[in-house]
Amino acid sequence: MSVAMPSTSQASTFKVAAIQMASGPNVAGNLSEARRLIARATEQGAKLVVLPEFFAIMGMTEQDKVVVREQEGTGPIQAFLSDAARQYKVWLIGGSIPLAASVPDKVLNSCLVFDDQGRQMARYDKIHLFNLSLGNESYDEAKTIEPGNKIVVVDSPFGRIGLAVCYDLRFPELFRAMKDVDMIVLPAAFTETTGKMHWEVLVRARAIENLAYVVASAQGGYHVNGRETHGNSMIVDPWGRVLDRLPRGSGVVIADINRTYQASLRASLPALEHRKISC
123-156 pLDDT tens trace = 999 999 999 888 878 889 999 999 999 999 999 9
Q: Indicate the burial class of 5 (C-beta count within 10 angstroms; 0-12, 13-18, 19 or more).
A: exposed
239-262 pLDDT tens trace = 999 999 999 999 999 999 999 999
What pLDDT is attached to residue 6? 42
User: Across residues 88-104, what is the average pLDDT?
Assistant: 97
Secondary structure of 192-221 in the HEC alphabet? Answer: HHHHHHHHHHHHHHHHHHHCCEEEEEEEEE
Report if residue 6 sits inside a domain: no
What pLDDT is attached to residue 4? 55
Residues noted as catalytic: 53, 126, 166
Report if residue 4 sits inside a domain: no
200-237 pLDDT tens trace = 999 999 999 999 999 999 999 999 999 999 999 999 99
Question: Phi/psi zone of residue 84: left (φ > 0), alpha (ψ -120 to 50 degrees), beta?
Answer: alpha
Q: Could you list the residue range(s) of the whole structural domain that residue 80 is in?
A: 12-268
139 vs 203: CA distance, rounded Å: 21
Q: Does residue 5 have a pLDDT over 60?
A: no
Which CATH number covers residue 264? 3.60.110.10
Give the pTM: 0.94
Report if residue 274 sits inside a domain: no
What pLDDT is attached to residue 55? 98
